[in-house]
């Protein structure tokens, strides 16, 4: 059957069917891509998931048409103007290039799978995946040869590889090994930036200088030390900035390294043939649009098409694209950054005893105030973070007229925020103060700081948390607070970072939070979606509890609404808190393409867990999460429609 279907004269509808499952990860180069596409296509054809994919494709086509119409209106004079704009901008951006730092990106190989094999050596050499029939978290390199990959439903993986062994996830185990790796990273850069459990960025400039040793030698040494400490292998990229280091770490995976020298020529040569999709921050949608409309496939082509990019995109997006074309990325050292926020939080056994909750709040306010006084800080935005008994994360924020630092002031405003949530059963309360008073040593929350120079120097700005994280490194589950606008360039030490940039097409739907009197309740992963460079002053308001209720109780109506009503922005219910003003969200034409992503985010109610099946998927895996959520969406709709209460699309374990 397979042979006859691949005969050249037959129609091959699957060839144009691209999902994240059909993208190759490391170790999948020799895979028969068409076979994977066909299996995924056949197993999802006719399903709601499939329809959803088609709808997304249609939206991309629509976006391309929209671009085409706008491009058609550009006169020769316009184009010559934009060519000048692009040329000037390219020069300006190039002048910000910093080749003085050596960055190392380390990424563990087949991390969860490797950890599982360590505890059960009989798995060695056999194709195996960590996860379940509905979703797999990762696959070892043996399984990848069959096209099996992370974020793929297990039943499709089994179809691709009938002998595939499934091992359930054990997050504790992965955290344990992650901590061991971080101890090694710390020896090379105490300010290393953890990007996920298995990934980190290290500035090795100093250690190279001190030991008169090359980046390549450090990479060799670090890899063997990680192996000694954990029994696991990792791959490393070394480059003048983080964006390139990440690309480099994937080149010789598994158990390999790639070093890009610190000179402009080497960078430009490297970038000249680099497919755009290799860049963290360019996902499927952006790739399709850049390829489909502009014919841009490699990073260098961004520069060649600079005039069109400048004419048709916002400044921030075109700057992002041009910087990719120049191979620019974040280079700043964490210790050079300024604190943008300070926070304190406490986890406890879930309780709904209001008196107890207020007591905990008072303790936290006390701790926070003491920390602020030690550092001479005062701030005027106070954010309350709550984790409910069912692990939903909510945040509430208020921006005040005056700067505060005393425990009494903090407690007074925090109590107001908490009061609006009662009754509630909580297992965590956190408080964060930002918008510091510059006279008192803080950094002004000056929006003009978000110049491109700052943006590029801070690199992964769009994915930063404003959290105060004091532990050794941190992971995504440490991301707690929603950030206000300025936290897009939040600059704390030991922070978690993700990609260098977020996909401009995938971050528009949640735009800036109005920094005056805004109230937001967006969970941690949503926080990452805030577009620090968006021109919209949209307050994105999502009540995650409300979302959960809607997605679980009445999925059909509400999920369909969000999918179909593309300009909808989730609103939080009215409440009586007088501090909550100015909540009207605005929508712009741009948002119409993004509500599917918005839907995706709503399903991730905790830092990394899917609210529907509990699958663990770190928030840095933006696209995989989206696919996973879409899958659930389709499953739910299918169940509702069939009235069977069980999905024929997704077999359950």
548 binds, among ligand TTP, Mg ion, none (CB under 5 to 8 A by kind): none
Q: Does 481 bind ligand TTP (CB under 6 A)?
A: no
Closest contact distance (angstroms) between CB of 614 and ligand TTP is 12
- Greatest alpha-carbon pair distance for the chain in Å reads 77
Site for ligand TTP in 437-476 (CB under 6 A): none
621 binds, among Mg ion, ligand TTP, none (CB under 5 to 8 A by kind): ligand TTP
Nearer to ligand TTP, 195 or 559 (CB): 195
Q: Does 332 bind ligand TTP (CB under 6 A)?
A: no
Closest contact distance (angstroms) between CB of 114 and Mg ion is 9
Q: Does 632 bind ligand TTP (CB under 6 A)?
A: no
Nearer to ligand TTP, 85 or 613 (CB): 613
137 binds, among Mg ion, ligand TTP, none (CB under 5 to 8 A by kind): ligand TTP
Which residue among 53, 107, 500, 512 contacts Mg ion (CB under 5 A)? 107
Closest contact distance (angstroms) between CB of 628 and ligand TTP is 7
Q: Bin 401: left if φ > 0, else alpha if -120 < ψ < 50, else beta.
A: alpha
**For ligand TTP, how many residues bind (rule: CB under 6 A)?**
20
CA distance 135 to 53: 17
Nearer to Mg ion, 109 or 635 (CB): 109
Question: Which range binds Mg ion by CB under 5 A, 158-166, 190-198, 391-399, 552-560?
Answer: 190-198
CA distance 264 to 372: 43
Nearer to Mg ion, 109 or 468 (CB): 109
Closest contact distance (angstroms) between CB of 117 and ligand TTP is 12
* Residue 171 CA: distances (Å) to CA of 177, 182, 197, 470: 10, 16, 10, 22
Find out whether 62 and 227 touch, Cβ atoms under 8 Å. no
26 binds, among Mg ion, ligand TTP, none (CB under 5 to 8 A by kind): ligand TTP
Estimate the crossing angle of helix 315-326 against helix 264-272, to 10 degrees. 110
Closest contact distance (angstroms) between CB of 74 and ligand TTP is 39
204 binds, among Mg ion, ligand TTP, none (CB under 5 to 8 A by kind): none
- Identify the DSSP state of 579: T
Tokens for 545?
């509890």
Nearer to Mg ion, 148 or 429 (CB): 148
The count of other CB atoms within 10 Å of the CB of residue 587 is: 16
Write out the DSSP string of 362-419.
HHHHHHHHHHHHHTT--EEEEEEEEEETT--EEEEEEEEEEEE-SHHHHHHHHHHHHH
Which residue among 112, 455, 593, 631 contacts ligand TTP (CB under 6 A)? 112
Phi, psi of 162 (to 5 degrees): -60, -25
Q: Within the chain, how many helices (H) and strands (E) appear?
A: 24, 12
Mode of pairing for the β-strands spanning 103-108 and 234-239: antiparallel
**For Mg ion, how many residues bind (rule: CB under 5 A)?**
4
Nearer to ligand TTP, 128 or 274 (CB): 128
617 binds, among ligand TTP, Mg ion, none (CB under 5 to 8 A by kind): ligand TTP
Which residue among 60, 105, 109, 534 contacts ligand TTP (CB under 6 A)? 109
Estimate the crossing angle of helix 171-188 against helix 215-230, to 10 degrees. 140
Nearer to ligand TTP, 174 or 594 (CB): 174
* Burial (CB count within 10 angstroms: exposed 0-12, middle 13-18, buried 19+), residue 297: middle
**Active-site residue flag, 199:** yes
Q: Does 624 bind Mg ion (CB under 5 A)?
A: no
Pick from 231, 236, 232, 230: nearest CA to 218: 236
Q: Taking CB under 6 A as the rule, which mask of x and - marks residues 24-63 in contact with ligand TTP?
A: -xx-------------------------------------
Which residue among 21, 111, 293, 631 contacts Mg ion (CB under 5 A)? 111
Find out whether 96 and 322 touch, Cβ atoms under 8 Å. no
Question: Which range binds Mg ion by CB under 5 A, 111-119, 306-314, 361-369, 542-550?
Answer: 111-119
Find out whether 469 and 492 touch, Cβ atoms under 8 Å. yes
Closest contact distance (angstroms) between CB of 186 and ligand TTP is 20
CA distance 579 to 588: 26
The strand ranges marked E within 94-185 are 103-108, 128-131, 136-139, 165-167
The β-bridge partners of 436 are: 379
Find out whether 405 and 379 touch, Cβ atoms under 8 Å. yes
Tokens for 248?
């480099």
Closest contact distance (angstroms) between CB of 519 and ligand TTP is 32
The one catalytic residue among 142, 199, 486, 592: 199
Site for ligand TTP in 123-162 (CB under 6 A): 137-138, 150-151
Which residue among 198, 500, 606, 616 contacts Mg ion (CB under 5 A)? 198
Cα dihedral 479, 481, 485, 489 sign: negative
The count of other CB atoms within 10 Å of the CB of residue 617 is: 24
Q: Does 188 bind ligand TTP (CB under 6 A)?
A: no
Tokens for 437?
């008073």
Site for ligand TTP in 218-257 (CB under 6 A): 253-254
The β-bridge partners of 428 are: 347, 387
Nearer to ligand TTP, 332 or 460 (CB): 460
Closest contact distance (angstroms) between CB of 166 and ligand TTP is 14
Tokens for 506?
């995938």
Site for Mg ion in 395-454 (CB under 5 A): none
331 binds, among Mg ion, ligand TTP, none (CB under 5 to 8 A by kind): none
Tokens for 170?
């054990």
Residues in touch with Mg ion (CB under 5 A): 107-108, 111, 198
Residues in touch with ligand TTP (CB under 6 A): 25-26, 107-112, 137-138, 150-151, 198, 253-254, 616-618, 621, 624
User: Catalytic residues, which ones?
Assistant: 199
């Amino acid at each position: 059957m397979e042979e006859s279907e691949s005969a050249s004269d037959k129609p091959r509808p699957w060839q144009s069917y691209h999902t994240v499952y059909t993208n190759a990860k490391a170790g999948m180069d020799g895979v028969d891509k068409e076979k994977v596409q066909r299996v995924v296509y056949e197993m999802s054809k006719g399903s709601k998931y499939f329809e959803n994919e088609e709808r997304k494709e249609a939206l991309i086509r629509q976006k391309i048409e929209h671009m085409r119409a706008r491009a058609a209106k550009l006169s020769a004079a316009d184009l010559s103007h934009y060519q000048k704009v692009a040329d000037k901008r390219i020069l300006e951006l190039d002048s910000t290039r910093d080749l003085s730092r050596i960055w190392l990106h380390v990424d563990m190989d087949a991390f969860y799978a490797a950890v599982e094999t360590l505890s059960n050596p009989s798995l060695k050499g056999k194709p195996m995946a960590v996860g379940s029939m509905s979703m797999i978290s990762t696959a070892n390199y043996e399984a990848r040869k069959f096209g099996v990959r992370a974020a793929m439903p297990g039943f499709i993986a089994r179809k691709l590889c009938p002998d595939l062994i499934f091992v359930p996830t054990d997050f504790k185990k992965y955290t344990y090994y992650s901590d061991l790796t971080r101890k090694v990273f710390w020896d090379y850069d105490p300010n290393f930036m953890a990007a996920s459990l298995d990934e980190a960025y290290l500035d090795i400039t100093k250690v190279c200088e001190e030991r008169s040793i090359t980046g390549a030698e450090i990479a060799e040494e670090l890899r063997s030390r990680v192996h000694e400490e954990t029994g696991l292998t990792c791959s490393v990229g070394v480059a003048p900035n983080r964006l390139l280091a990440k690309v480099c770490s994937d080149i010789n995976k598994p158990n390999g390294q790639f070093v890009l020298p610190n000179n402009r020529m080497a960078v430009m040569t490297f970038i000249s043939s680099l497919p755009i999709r290799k860049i963290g921050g360019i996902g499927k949608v952006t790739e399709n649009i850049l390829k489909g409309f502009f014919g841009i496939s490699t990073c260098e082509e961004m520069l060649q098409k600079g005039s069109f990019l400048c004419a048709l995109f916002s400044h921030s997006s075109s700057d992002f694209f041009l910087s990719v074309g120049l191979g620019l990325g974040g280079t700043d050292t964490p210790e050079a950054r300024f604190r943008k926020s300070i926070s304190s939080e406490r986890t406890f056994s879930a309780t709904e005893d209001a008196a107890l909750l207020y007591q905990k709040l008072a303790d936290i306010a006390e701790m926070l105030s003491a920390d602020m006084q030690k550092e001479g800080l005062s701030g005027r935005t106070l954010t309350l973070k709550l984790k409910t008994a069912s692990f939903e994360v909510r945040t509430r924020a208020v921006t005040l007229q005056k700067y505060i630092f005393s425990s009494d002031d903090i407690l007074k405003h925090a109590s107001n925020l908490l009061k609006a949530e009662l009754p509630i059963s909580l297992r965590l309360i956190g408080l964060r103060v930002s918008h510091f008073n510059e006279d008192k040593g803080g950094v002004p929350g000056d929006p003009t700081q978000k110049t491109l120079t700052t943006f590029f120097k801070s690199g992964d700005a769009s994915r930063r948390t404003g959290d105060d994280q004091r532990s050794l490194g941190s992971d995504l589950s440490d991301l707690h607070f929603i950030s206000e606008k300025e936290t897009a360039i939040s600059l704390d030490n030991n922070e978690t970072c993700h990609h260098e940039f977020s996909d401009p097409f995938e971050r528009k739907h949640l735009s800036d939070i109005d920094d005056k009197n805004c109230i937001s309740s967006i969970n941690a992963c949503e926080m990452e979606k805030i577009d620090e460079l968006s021109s919209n002053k949209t307050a994105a308001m999502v009540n995650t509890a409300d979302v959960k209720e809607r997605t679980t109780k009445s999925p059909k109506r509400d999920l369909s609404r969000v999918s179909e009503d593309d300009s909808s922005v989730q609103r939080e219910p009215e409440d009586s808190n007088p501090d909550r003003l100015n909540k009207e969200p605005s929508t712009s034409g741009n948002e119409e393409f993004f509500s599917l992503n918005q839907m995706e985010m709503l399903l991730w109610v905790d830092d990394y867990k899917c609210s529907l099946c509990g699958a663990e998927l770190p928030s840095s895996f933006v696209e995989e999460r989206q696919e996973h959520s879409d899958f659930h969406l389709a499953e739910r709709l299918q169940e509702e429609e069939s009235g069977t209460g069980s999905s024929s699309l997704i077999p359950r374990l």
